[in-house]
Amino acid sequence: MNFIRVSSACPLTNIGDIEFNLKNIEDCIDKASVEKSKLVVFPELSITSYTCADLFEQQLLLKMTLEALKELCDYSKGKDILIAVGAPIVYNNCLYNCACIVFKGNILGIVPKSYIPNYEEFYEKRWFTEGIDVIDESIDFYFQKNIPFGVNLIFTCGDFRFGFEICEDLWAVIPPSSYLCLMGANILGNLSASNEVVSKSSYRRNLICSQSARGMCSYVYSSSGVFESSTDLVFSGDLCISENGVLLNSNNRFKRENEVITAILDVDKLKSQRLKNVSFRDNVKKFSHKPVNIEFRFENMDYGEFNRRVEKHPFVPDNKNEREIRCREIFNIQTAALGKRISHTNLKKTVVGISGGLDSTLALLVTVKTFDILQIPRKNVITVTMPGFGTTDRTYNNAVSLCRNLGTELREINIVDACTQHFKDISHDRRIHDVTYENVQARERTQIIMDIANKEGGLVIGTGDLSELALGWCTYNGDHMSMYGVNCSIPKTLVRYLVRYVADRETSQNISDILIDVLSTPVSPELLPKDKEGQISQKTEDIVGPYELHDFFLYYFVRLNYSPQKILFLAKQAYKNDYSSQVIEKWFDVFIKRFFTQQFKRSAIPDGPKVGTVSLSPRGDWRMPSDASYKLWVDSIIKD
């Protein structure tokens, strides 16, 4: 499934004590191997230590560096892990600051540092030569010949393609890792010796995350530890692993022992991002450098215990503060979009069908806020409640109370008589509670609000959400239709938090209480008669499955284009304490079949604002034939 565990390591070092340094490097390799890592990245010049200064010109130090590399090669035999270690290397009478890539007894390649800092506390050009122009060269050591040497080396094992840069390279205007990404690398290692000054660590980690996002790659960073500190410089052993802009793991700095951190990377995620991003593909075409691909093979891809965090609700930030920021941003997007449509049409009224459910509540809150921003009286928001055969007292009272407390114009139109007449017109027995029975009501409600909009010169605001569109859980030309759908790219799991966000900030206790009760009401279209106790009998999630599962499936199917097997694997990890494997598989089968068969509805939806990374608009993000077969996807689930 293209998962791989990688490590960033910081060994204890003594400046110039190669034997001591190598022993601790080997200890970190063992720790990373026990963790089932397939890559371990060490700090810059870790074999000698970074702060040797003029000692780098000592023949003894350089000779013993080669001896240490040979010993490290011998030590790596039988170990199924790629090792990136820093060392000074002489080539053509020039000294280079290098990353030596070791695997199972051999140096696969050597990457020189492209940019040599020579400002403020750094004066590396006193000893080292820039490697930016070193391409397609090779080096001979006494124990190994023809070792590839250059900045364009890509170390390839199947879909895992590794590239390396060194410290200052990341701080350049165009880092070598950007070129490496364009040459195909998706896992980047940085061997660094970055000293500490106030606030530098947070800036550095932002830089790492930013570069992993820009390159749509994973980035494994390792910097020298506290025992590298000497004279005026202090080092902290900063270790972090980032993936596509997200920090997967990092350490607490200033440790005084060997330290190894690990994380599981998802290369499929990176591949998907790059395939979708046209700018990335165009950039590849403009880039002229050719990579030197160095192929190798891991014995196995065992990553040990799967401890990568898998969010249950990928559309909803787990952190409360971040979630509140997200909700505020979404409301701003929704209101700005609706405000533009109202201004453009020069219509001063809107019509919203109110059911007392989550979606219509959110649509109403957005509409009211938009009218406040545009300084249009709330009475121009025409809210219509249309009780039918399945309307319960709870939802009816919530709908009516909310509209009255918000100060909108409220109209009540009972649809029972109109639907009964329509049943007669089409010769349908109203005792048969089938899809015709349900859709008659949905279309009657849509006809009412559309005609009111025509009569009043208003705009019908759609209430349907992204999850319903994905499943086709809407009546074609019924609640499926509106003049502007403000919720169209908001999944059900996020709708709840948006309503809660408003409830928590509402100054009116009455409105807040109503919103809280709406949140606790079961999701239902209320198209079937109430039960004997007058409660909701038709619960959507009993019919199509839990929305949290469907939102999870939707995210990984549309956003990342994952295979059914991988989606199921991740779902079972995320929900292992909530649903059995059989239940997850059952609802995934429902999701796939409904997603494919209901595309014709999505091909004919009204305009609405895109608020997140997943949108099913046929005019932009999702273009799918209405007659596509789901057989390939369903069959692959069965085979698995």
Catalytic residues: 44, 113, 167
Residue 318 annotated in ligand binding: no
Residue 639 annotated in ligand binding: no
Listed residue (3, 157, 39) closest to 562, CA to CA: 3
Compute the 3-state secondary structure of the chain and give helix, strand, coil in percent, each to the nearest 5. Answer: 45, 20, 40
- Angle at Cα 283 formed by Cα 277 and Cα 284, nearest 5°? 95
Residue 200 annotated in ligand binding: yes
Residue 359 annotated in ligand binding: yes
Radius of gyration of the chain (CA): 31
d(CA 588, CA 397): 35
Residue 61 annotated in ligand binding: no
Residue 463 annotated in ligand binding: yes
Residue 587 annotated in ligand binding: no
Listed residue (107, 125, 105, 106) closest to 115, CA to CA: 125
Please say whether the beta carbons of 264 and 4 come within 8 A: yes
Residue 285 annotated in ligand binding: no
Residue 354 annotated in ligand binding: yes
Strands of the 94-103 sheet, one edge to the other: 137-141, 144-149, 106-112, 94-103, 82-91, 39-41, 3-10, 259-266
Listed residue (354, 448, 363) closest to 404, CA to CA: 354
Residue 357 annotated in ligand binding: yes
Tokens of 268: 């499929």
Residue 91 annotated in ligand binding: no
Tokens of 471: 């499943």
d(CA 6, CA 140): 29
Residue 367 annotated in ligand binding: no
Residue 325 annotated in ligand binding: no
Tell me how far the alpha carbon of residue 369 is from its chain's centroid: 30
Length of the chain: 640
Residue 212 annotated in ligand binding: no
Residue 475 annotated in ligand binding: yes
Residue 194 annotated in ligand binding: yes
Amino acid in the structure at residue 505: R
d(CA 65, CA 25): 13
Please say whether the beta carbons of 352 and 381 come within 8 A: yes
Residue 537 annotated in ligand binding: no
d(CA 192, CA 195): 9
d(CA 4, CA 26): 21
For every residue of 424-476, which 3-state class applies, written as one string? HHCCCCCCCCCHHHHHHHHHHHHHHHHHHHHHHCEEEEECCCHHHHHHCCCCC
- Angle at Cα 175 formed by Cα 171 and Cα 179, nearest 5°? 170
For 628, the enclosing helix (H) or strand (E) is none
Please say whether the beta carbons of 263 and 126 come within 8 A: no
Known binding positions: 119, 194, 200, 353-360, 439, 463, 468, 473-476, 601
Known binding positions for L-glutamine: 119, 194, 200
Known binding positions for deamido-NAD(+): 439, 468, 473-476, 601
Known binding positions for ATP: 353-360, 463
